[in-house]
Structure 1
Amino acid sequence: MLRILFVCTGNTCRSPMAEGLLRKLAAERNLDLEVRSAGVAAIDGNSMSRHAAAILRDEGVQGDITSSQLKIGHIEWADLVLTLTQSHKRHVLQVHPAAVGKTYTLKEYVQDEESVRRDLEELDSLYAGIELSRTLGREPESEDLQRVIEIRQRIPSGDIVDPFGGSREDYELAAAEIRSSLYRLLDKLESLRLL
């Protein structure tokens, strides 16, 4: 059984919507996977935002998802860690560098364009080298920093906008973006025979 962890900020909006929607979509396809979510700045036990909960109810998702603070154990449990933004991905890799081969933003993981995938892989490698230099007390190479800027300017955003504090429509837009990526995710996992 494949274990997927979604990560966002407070674990009250995007990642619980992704968790609930993926569970529902996987069940509709009779796919066996386990899904959890956590937040980099979450407080354990908080309820989902009312708009996120309403969207999941409208989608027929059963149960209540409460927030969890991201811990190393969550990352180690997961076979695949899917974050909702690049900054969440960087956070996961800073706290658990060994997760580099299994941590992606949701949108980058389902990205089909080969040139973008190569750029994203190079970006991951550059970030790892920069972080290592800083950990060792050295300044990162200026060429590496310049290359990061070049790549970031040409790749599409891997972020799903945070609807926190917004209107129901803001949440609907985020849910639609998540849902679209989840369809592509399931198609990809099935084609790779991971399910």
Structure 2
Amino acid sequence: MKHILFVCTGNTCRSPMAEALLRKLATERGISLEVRSAGVAAMEGTSISHHAEAVLRDHEIYDSLTSSSLRSETVEWSDLILTLTGSHKQHVIHNFPHAADKTFTLKEFTEDDERVLKDLQELDSLYASWELKRALGQPLENAERERIIEIQQRIPSFDISDPFGGSKDDYDITAGEIRTALDRLLDKL
């Protein structure tokens, strides 16, 4: 059974919606998965937002979800870490460099353009190397820094929009983005 972890900021909007939606969609397709979510700046035990809860009810999901902080035990538990933005991904790689090979944004993991995938693989390797050098007190070489910038400018954005503080419509739009990516994820699995 594959263990999938979704990561966002507060674990009250995007990642719990992704967690609950994937759990339901996987069950409907007969795919056996364990799914969790966490936040890089979560306040442990906080309820998910009212709009996120309403969106899930619209999808006939009545799970009682509360926020969890991203912890090493959860990172170790996961086979695949899917973040909702590139900055969440960078946070995971910065704090858990050993998990770089299993950490992706949700949209990038479901990307199928080979050129984009090659760039992403190189960028991840450069980020992991950078974090390792930083931990060892070594500077990043100028050529590496320039290569990171070059690749960043070339690849598309893989961020899921943040509905925090927005209307129910904003949450519906975000849930639609997530649902589209989750359908592609399940096709890939």
TM above 0.5, yes or no, is: yes
Percent of aligned pairs sharing the same letter:
62
Give 1:112's aligned residue: 112
> Paired residue for 1:135?
135
What residue is the counterpart of 1:41 in the other structure? 41
Structure 2: gaps spanning 5 or more residues: none
Identify the residue that residue 158 of structure 2 maps to in structure 1. Answer: 158
1:90 aligns with 2:87: no
Q: Is the 8 A contact 1:72 1:95 kept in 2?
A: no
Distance 1:173 1:111 in 2: 20
In structure 2, distance between residues paired with 1:106 and 1:28: 20
Provide the C-alpha distance between the structure 1 equivalents of 2:139 and 2:48, rounded to a whole number of angstroms. Answer: 41
8 Å CA contact 1:48–1:65 kept in 2: the answer is yes
Q: Does the CA contact (< 8 Å) of 2:97 and 2:131 recur in 1? A: no
Give SS of 1:11's match.
Answer: coil
The residue type paired with residue 60 of structure 2 is G
**2: distance between equivalents of 1:6 and 1:129?**
24
TM-score, with length taken from structure 1? 0.94
Superposition misfits of 4+ residues, deviation over 3 angstroms: none
1 CA distance for matches of 2:129 and 2:96? Answer: 15
1:78-132 Cα distance to aligned partner (Å, 9 max, x none): 1111000111111111221111221111011000000000000000111112222
Q: Which 5+ residue runs of structure 1 have no aligned equivalent?
A: 190-195
> How much has 1:133 moved relative to structure 2?
2.0
**Structure 1 stretch displaced more, 58-67 or 111-120:** 58-67
Residue 184 of structure 2 corresponds to which residue in structure 1? 184
- Give the TM-score of the pair, scaled to structure 2: 0.97
In structure 1, what residue type is equivalent to 2:118?
Answer: R
Deviates more, 1:155-164 or 1:110-119: 155-164
CA distance in 1, matches of 2:133, 2:46: 37
Task: Give yes or no for contact 1:2–1:32 (8 Å, CA) kept in 2.
Answer: yes
Partner of 2:36, secondary structure, is: strand
Following superposition, the deviation at residue 176 of structure 1 comes to 0.5
Q: CA deviation at 1:138?
A: 2.3
Assess if the C-alpha contact under 8 Å between 2:97 and 2:132 holds in 1.
Answer: no
**Which of 138-147 and 105-114 deviates more?**
138-147
Q: In structure 2, what is the equivalent of residue 61 of structure 1?
A: 61
Amino acid at match of 2:97: P
Q: CA RMSD in A?
A: 0.9
1:104 counterpart letter in structure 2: F
